[in-house]
Structure 1
Amino acid sequence: MSQHYGTIAFTDAVREAQKHYGSDAFYTSRTMRARAIAGPDPLTEDVREFLSERDGFYLASVSQTGWPYVQFRGGPVGFIRVLDDHTLGWADFQGNLQYISTGNVTADDRVALFAMDYPHRRRLKIFGHARITTVEEDAALVESLTVPEYDAVVERAVVVSVEAFDWNCQQHITPRFSAAELEPRLAALRDEVASLRRENEELRRRGAAG
């Protein structure tokens, strides 16, 4: 948990829940210490490395009616970029044309990101403020976040000023593997099967010849 995560996440209602379930002493002490330190929290090296390996994450925004909205954003590995110690961004690819997240952040720029590493059962939560940048507003920024080899229409860039983050508990995360993550092991199995088939054919040939 970064220094200021608790000052954002632990509202009065949350602290009441922590008190009820017995975790308030631990979290209150950390939150009180953080209040005396100027924010926002800088992104650490492990966060940078973790984000560089992701091919997707969940983005939560808040609508003008107060409803939360969660959207999955995906792309090639590393499409989410750390721009500096307090900023990250990504190219916003064209999707279903609803533009709910885009509209939400123009009215309330507060967002939360939830990034998962299912094979290693790791997850990262990030609080920040998002802004939308179009090609007309900053062509160089949008270009810098574009992934040339990825076949997708880039409509805009999203830049998030990070306030705080937290590494979440790995309990109850079911390991899952993408096709790309499974491919090295599947390739080895295919090679082994092919070798066994060749060996079997050779044994059959020798048996027929004998």
Structure 2
Amino acid sequence: MADRYMHTVLTPAVLEAERHYYGRTYPDFEGAPKVDALTASEVAFIEDRDSFYMATITENGWPYLQHRGGRKGFLKVTGENELMFADHGGNRQMISVGSLAVNDRVSLFLMDYPARERLKILGHAKVLDAREHPDLVERIAPPGGHAAKVERIMVIDVLSYDWNCPKFITPRFTPAEIETAIVPLKNRIAELEAQLKTYQSES
């Protein structure tokens, strides 16, 4: 658990709710660093994801949650506590982009369903026009390309992060993960079929 994360989210109202329901509160995490630095574990986890959820706050104060997906590695760690990803043309609603122009706070939720792990990230984000930053577009273009062109670059300065416990995370697997898992089974079936064929030919 990173201290800055808990220091940020444990507001007076949260502490009062803890007292009301449990008769105690978490520590106050005073003395927390200004920023919780990403370690090698966080970097590896982030860069191995093929999707994540990003929450912003709309201009009229409502939370807005959006799913982002791509090939593994599309969310890049580009600095000590900096993340970037390419934003492609989509439904053109621009809710996240417009919201970030007013309030730069974001929360990211990254899941590893097979391993039952999740990483929560708090940060400040800015949106760069891809037309004005061709060098960055080249740097963060997703591996394998994308059908739509890069229109914007999302840059996130990570304030802190927190790892959640695996309780109640239902394991889910992608087609690629399932295919990898059943390779030994396919090989064994092929081996048994070959043995059966040999046995039948000798009978």
Correspondence for 1:17: 17
Correspondence for 1:32: 30
**Root-mean-square deviation (Å):** 1.8
Could you tell me how far apart the structure 2 residues matched to 1:10 and 1:172 are? 23
Could you tell me how far apart the structure 2 residues matched to 1:178 and 1:185 are? 11
3-state SS of 1:144 partner = helix
Mark the runs of 5 or more structure 1 residues left unpaired by the alignment: none
The reply to whether residue 70 of structure 1 matches residue 65 of structure 2 is yes
3-state SS of 1:72 partner = strand
Could you tell me how far apart the structure 2 residues matched to 1:71 and 1:93 are? 14
Could you tell me how far apart the structure 2 residues matched to 1:96 and 1:23 are? 47
Match of 1:81 among 62, 73, 76: 76
3-state SS of 1:111 partner = strand
Q: Deviations over 1:76-96 (max 9, x none)?
A: 111111111121111113333
Q: Are 1:91 and 1:145, in contact at CA under 8 Å, matched by a contact in 2?
A: yes
Correspondence for 1:46: 41
Shift of 1:157: 1.1
Could you tell me how far apart the structure 1 residues matched to 2:24 and 2:97 are? 36
The reply to whether residue 111 of structure 1 matches residue 109 of structure 2 is no
Could you tell me how far apart the structure 1 residues matched to 2:192 and 2:89 are? 46
TM-score w.r.t. structure 1 length?
0.88
1:134-153 matched pairs, under 5 angstroms = 134-153=129-148
Q: What amino acid is the match of 2:2?
A: S
Mark the runs of 5 or more structure 2 residues left unpaired by the alignment: none
Q: Are 2:53 and 2:68, in contact at CA under 8 Å, matched by a contact in 1?
A: yes
Could you tell me how far apart the structure 2 residues matched to 1:110 and 1:51 are? 19
Correspondence for 1:120: 115
Q: Deviations over 1:92-143 (max 9, x none)?
A: 1333332221222122111000001111111111111111112222211122
Number of aligned positions between the proteins:
202
Q: Deviations over 1:151-183 (max 9, x none)?
A: 332221100011111111211111111122222
Could you tell me how far apart the structure 2 residues matched to 1:2 and 1:139 are? 35
Match of 1:165 among 161, 164, 170: 161
